[in-house]
Amino acid sequence: MEKIRMTTPLVEIDGDEMTRILWAAIKEQLLEPFVDLKTEYYDLGLPKRDETRDRITHDSAEAIRKYGVGVKCATITPNAQRMEEYHLHEMWKSPNGTIRAALDGTVFRAPILVDGISPVVRNWKAPITIARHAYGDVYRGVEFAAEAGGKAELVVTGRDGQERRQTIYDFECPGVVTGQYNKDSSIDSFARACFQYALDTRQDLWFSTKDTIAKVYDGRFKERFQAIFDAEYKARFDEAGITYFYTLIDDAVARVVRSEGGFIWACKNYDGDVMSDMVSTAFGSLAMMTSVLVSPDGKYEYEAAHGTVTRHYYRYLEGEQTSTNPMATIFAWTGALAKRGELDGNEALRAFAAKLERACLDTIESGVMTKDLASLWEKGEPTVVTSDGFLAAVRSRLEQAL
Ligand code: NAP
Ligand code: MG
């Protein structure tokens, strides 16, 4: 069989630990035999980040800007323990944070559904995609502890030196106080990324905040979304037959639980952090959650939502064959290949991505799966396989399909 050709390189970003092992195996078993892979490779494994003083992370983000599509393996975000383990020069920042900031992107997370593993919420039939604003609010907040008798004030000094000042609280006992911000440019990027992604995937977009309480702060989010929608997207939404819908977050939670799924739920930073864990757990497993970073000008980075699966890696280093689930990492590749195919008008590449996804789903639906899914399986006794066993089963289905 002749291999499928690619015209534009895909930005390939390698990572750490167990997912790095899976990465190489996926390429060897499921991609390279069928596709003449054209990638620009960036090694974001922690040793290389340290060696390049994290230059490589910035370079990889630049490459995504240039080529438009990247696929990323999970990476370690260093902490004190990792500093020792890897003898690091510095506690390098989260690569995901760096790439997100460089692309000014929004993260969309969606579960992979299989027949035979039902969501905890019975009426969910289609995936719910969470779009999380990844800038500002409590994540960039300043916080203090206050003593009894202390007074907290909010002061905004204008360019002309003019102060606006308001008492937040006169503390009669000890307490805590925080200051948060967001900015219009980031809110606008978030809005555009959400509208763009809704059009790309032809799904309705919901957005929720608490604007009844935070009238100025959350009110700004609501206003910017509506203004951008009306000016730039309404006609295209109408044409695509999809809708934009704003509601209060309390109402959104109730509606989401009662829904059948199949839409995008845009959330502010904190709401998205919490709701994406809730939604992924309710759909089954973190190992079945995909993630894509979308910039407002249409650059895409695909990855798994889970981390480097450290516990499995240490067992792997001791020679054990682990049963780590490669689904989300495979789907990161298929997402990126399909997008590359779409942008390049490469139908063969798109079709290959779809067939590989189908082969993965068929494998699980036939009862063959990794250990993490076995306890969720509802159709009798599953066949639990190692990661390699799973890849081999997918490969033989893929070969038949091709
Ligand atoms: P994790 O790697 O997601 O793993 C947490 C646990 O979830 C695992 O121990 C495993 O449970 C289960 N799990 C996750 N993915 C799985 C898979 N594909 N197959 C089977 N089980 C899976 O999270 P973590 O242990 O908190 O973090 C490990 C490292 O990853 C950290 O250094 C962190 O900085 C990094 N991280 C990176 C990203 C990213 O690059 N996007 C995201 C999150 C974390 P059992 O052990 O019970 O089997
Ligand atoms: Mg979280």
What are φ and ψ of residue 146, in 5° steps?
Answer: -115, 145
Residue 280 has pLDDT above 90, yes or no: no
CA 354 to chain centre: 20
Residue 363 has pLDDT above 80, yes or no: yes
Tell me how far the alpha carbon of residue 133 lies from the centroid of ligand 2, in angstroms: 13
| Cβ < 6 A, ligand 1 pocket | 74-77, 96, 286-287, 303, 306-311, 324-325, 372
Whose tokens are 């009894």? That residue is 148
Q: Which residues contact 314 (CB under 8 A, 6 or more apart)?
A: none
The better pLDDT of the pair 138, 70 is held by 70
Do residues 290 and 338 touch, judged by C-beta distance below 8 A?
no
Paired residues of 77 in beta bridges: none
pTM of the model: 0.91
* pLDDT (0 to 100) of residue 1: 74
d(CA 19, CA 346): 28
* pLDDT (0 to 100) of residue 296: 85
Could you tell me the two tokens for 176?
């805590």
Residue 74: closest CA among 309, 266, 333 = 309
d(CA 136, CA 186): 9
Q: Give the neighbor-by-neighbor strand order of the sheet with 244-248.
A: 39-43, 10-14, 69-72, 300-304, 289-294, 106-111, 128-132, 263-267, 204-209, 244-248
Share of the chain above pLDDT 70, in %: 100
| pLDDT tens per residue, range 23-58 | 999 999 999 999 999 999 999 999 999 999 999 999
| pLDDT tens per residue, range 303-316 | 999 999 999 999 99
| pLDDT tens per residue, range 217-234 | 999 999 999 999 999 999
Ligand 1 atom 31 nearest Cα: 76
d(CA 282, CA 81): 32
* pLDDT (0 to 100) of residue 193: 94
Looking at all shown ligands, the one closest to residue 280's CA atom is 2
Label residue 255 by pLDDT band (50, 70, 90).
very high
Question: How large is the average pLDDT for residues 363-388?
Answer: 96
Label residue 134 by pLDDT band (50, 70, 90).
confident
Residue 286 has pLDDT above 90, yes or no: no
